[in-house]
Amino acid sequence: MANAIRTLADRPSAPAEPKLALRDLVVTRRTAWGETVTATDRLTFDVAAGEFVCLLGPSGCGKTSLLNVLAGLVEPTSGQALLDGRPITGPGPDRAVLFQEPALFPWLSVRGNVELGLDLIGVPLSERRAVAQRWLANVHLEGWADAQPHELSAGMRQRVALARALAADPDVVLADEPFGALDAQARELLQREVQRVWVESQNRKTFLFVTHNVREATLLADRVLVMSAAPGRLLEEFRIHAPRPRDMDDVLIARVVSEIHALLMQEVDASVAREMAR
């Protein structure tokens, strides 16, 4: 197990058939006071089919922007975002998105929220109920199917969002710090659910998971990409070969956590220094 965790140099390796690919991606966005900010700066990396990749970086480094581009919600300023080798032109149910907030629709019941996604991809009414029920059972909420979202705790809502995202059987799951606002127990439960879903998908589902939590990234990912302070570039890549389910008390996991943490803190300090220099 000595080489279970390997730290690679700068340049990410290119898998033969990437599921997701960014090529010199530049995303700029306008702030409320009309300034143009470069969110990501000529970012290039691949995510292989079936891979679980976590993106870490100081806040404001463009993680969310790049996820929005892959989701098809934002157009790149320059460069390319590719899905199966083809440029992404818009959102689609083949790429499920988990937002920071659960984004459940308050006019629908828990079941209705899960069924809506199935309805939108054309699953016939007779099958929708069974599929939704199965996914609610997967996140241990089958008893809450008829509740309204506002009656659930924050952790339960995010579990419904997970069920809704996965019920349509997407190839790709894009997650934008979905567990950031949850308490420690709820977060752990959801991390376990995500790990289980990914393992059960047997390398068919590709996850790109944005987080600011080093332990979360290390627990979940095959590969952790660390981004620089804004404008976001790729700093470092960590490959984690430890078998799943992973245990936080594992010495090797603990070592890589502290290594990534040290790198990340350097970037956070740099980013704070830059903010103060303005």
Partner 1 sequence: MSRARWLAEELGPPLAGVAGLLAIWAVVAAVTDSAGIPSPSIVWSAFLDGMRDGTLPDAATKTLIRLAFSFFVAVGSGTALGLALALNWFARRAIRPIVVALQITPFVAWVPLAVIWFGATERAVVFVAIVGSFPSMTLATLQAIRQVPPLYERAGRTLGARGWSLYRKIIVPAALPGMMAGLQQAWGFAWKALMAGELIVAAAHAGLGHLLDPRSGASVPTLFAALAVIVVIGVAVDYLLFGQLDRRIRRRRGLLIET
Under the rule (CB under 8 A), what is the footprint of partner 1?
71-73, 90-93, 95-97, 99, 101, 103, 105-108, 116-117, 119-121, 148-151, 164, 168
The residue among 95 and 223 lying less far from partner 1, judged by its C-beta, is 95
**Closest distance to partner 1 from the beta carbon of 236 (Å):** 30
Name, in order, each residue with C-beta under 8 angstroms of 32's C-beta and a sequence gap of 6 or more: none
Q: Please, which residue, 106 or 243, has the CB nearer to partner 1?
A: 106
Instruction: Give the 3-state secondary structure of residue 133.
Output: helix
CB of 96 to partner 1, least distance (A): 7
Q: How far is the CB of 152 from partner 1 (least distance, A)?
A: 10
Nearer to partner 1, 85 or 90 (CB): 90
How many CB atoms neighbour CB 46 within 10 A?
19
Residue in 28, 24, 55, 30 with CA at minimum distance from that of residue 39: 28
Nearer to partner 1, 159 or 223 (CB): 159
Query: Coil, helix or strand for 184?
Result: helix
- In whole angstroms, the minimum distance from the beta carbon of 49 to partner 1 comes to 20
Grouping H, G, I as helix, E, B as strand and the rest as coil, residue 178 is coil
> In angstroms, what is the minimal distance from the CB of 247 to partner 1?
33
Residue 103 identity: A
Q: How many CA atoms lie within 13 A of 157 on its CB side?
A: 21
Q: Which is nearer to partner 1, 87 or 91 (CB)?
A: 91
Q: How many CA atoms lie within 13 A of 255 on its CB side?
A: 12
How do beta strands 52-56 and 223-227 pair? parallel
